[in-house]
Chains A and B, each alone.
Chain A
């Protein structure tokens, strides 16, 4: 059955589960990067993969859009194993946002955003209308359309990156440290706006970060990864209260340094 992006969205919406990892392992050059990972992401849900560098977060994302294939287990996208997808079709139904936008330096904002629609054969007027719509959606002025990525600020580039990922209205959105290169204020704005956007879009979102605050702010569910394993997998509010040692380690690492210092003092004094 030939699947268009929209047909995939419907199919996924019908059974509710957009992404499913079924005991997935992955290794590269004899090194095991992912071990027996199982998780599901429903349509409309935001899953955050939290973990330090090398814990397997990015590998997990690349298994979703078929840039990598599992060595054991199965990744199912829209109910179908990623091995049975045409990789090009699969990738066009998974919007991908990377750090600093990953924009094509030789394309204008308009061409960057319109790339997938263009290779999907949309006609010019429709692409133009979609680009305008998306620029509005991510809070950018329409006049930026003719600029090149080098003429934009980091925050603007990141917004264009989000718009580009959304261009063909894919049912799934994956973001790899998408906001990590931004200054704290812009970052906080982007998180808020992205959260609001997701409330409206109801995509299946997988967001990779090493920032606990970002995770709590955006996630419906948080998966804490460590050495290629999902160590904790909890709804966001339960995650914040979890007494799992690694979760506590994260909380401590992200609490204010001054606060920790005073707490230690008060704890020691009596």
Chain B
């Protein structure tokens, strides 16, 4: 009862921080997709690069998030504003699932279908945009889904560098040793992650059942 009371008393701030959180996670996932999907496509065309690029994204993934935030502080322009820095760091984490899923999705397209396209005289670009990407879209959206959920979770830590978001409540609650303050940040963050997972999961299933049923 206490918790709900606290929530309703602070609903203004909760809504504000939730919106901030959505912005952090949303923009970073978008950037991760804009960089990761083309990178994933590139390594299907130049397989020699795949080890390097997937390996690089893997290494980023292993850096603890607080440390990554710290590393980026000296970066020009990026380091000037906490939210910029947080978005960049979160986008870097989102790269791996996007690169990997784009690569796997395109490689997973039935080779007979790709060859049929090539035999019909499709150019590389036509083959990519009309055959490979549509047929890989389910797997690519699965990558977006992983990146988004990851980003919503990690964005709570961005509050440690003053980037805002629901992590503010969590850190404040930790300092105050108050469970209800922690929960005021943790519960909405968890709900956000669930919602993103559910929505993107729905999209993924739709794409899969639409494109891939032979």
Binding site for B on A (CB under 8 A): 62, 65, 67, 87-92, 96, 98, 102-106, 115-116, 119, 149-150, 164
Q: Are A106 and B120 interface neighbours, CB within 8 A?
A: no
One of B17-25, B144-152, B182-190, B205-213 contacting the partner: B205-213
Q: Are B119 and A65 interface neighbours, CB within 8 A?
A: yes
Interchain nearest-CB distance for B55 vs A (Å)? 28
**B132-148 interface bits toward A, Cβ cutoff 8 Å, 1 = contact, 0 = none:** 00110000000000000
- B-side contacts of A119, CB under 8 Å: 121-123, 126
Q: Give the docked Cα–Cα distance between A116 and B116 (Å).
A: 12
Q: Are A67 and B121 interface neighbours, CB within 8 A?
A: no
**B48-90 interface bits toward A, Cβ cutoff 8 Å, 1 = contact, 0 = none:** 0000000000000000000000000000000000000000000
Provide the main secondary structure of the chain A interface: helix
A-B contacts besides A98-B116, A106-B210, 18 pairs, CB < 8 Å: A67-B119, A88-B121, A88-B122, A90-B121, A91-B119, A91-B120, A92-B120, A98-B119, A102-B113, A104-B130, A105-B113, A105-B135, A105-B213, A115-B120, A115-B122, A116-B120, A119-B121, A164-B120
Q: Give the nearest-CB partner of A65 in chain B.
A: B119
We find that the number of chain B residues with CB closer than 8 angstroms to chain A is 22
Query: Does B117 count as interface, using CB distance less than 8 angstroms?
Result: yes
Query: Does B203 count as interface, using CB distance less than 8 angstroms?
Result: no
Q: Give the docked Cα–Cα distance between A65 and B119 (Å).
A: 7
Most chain-B Cβ atoms within 10 A of its Cβ — which of A91, A105, A116, A149?
A105
Most chain-A Cβ atoms within 10 A of its Cβ — which of B119, B121, B131, B212?
B121
Q: Are A91 and B210 interface neighbours, CB within 8 A?
A: no
Q: Are A116 and B121 interface neighbours, CB within 8 A?
A: yes
Q: Are A104 and B117 interface neighbours, CB within 8 A?
A: yes
Interchain nearest-CB distance for B205 vs A (Å)? 15
Query: Does B118 count as interface, using CB distance less than 8 angstroms?
Result: yes
- A-side contacts of B113, CB under 8 Å: 102, 104-105
**B1-42 interface bits toward A, Cβ cutoff 8 Å, 1 = contact, 0 = none:** 000000000000000000000000000000000000000000
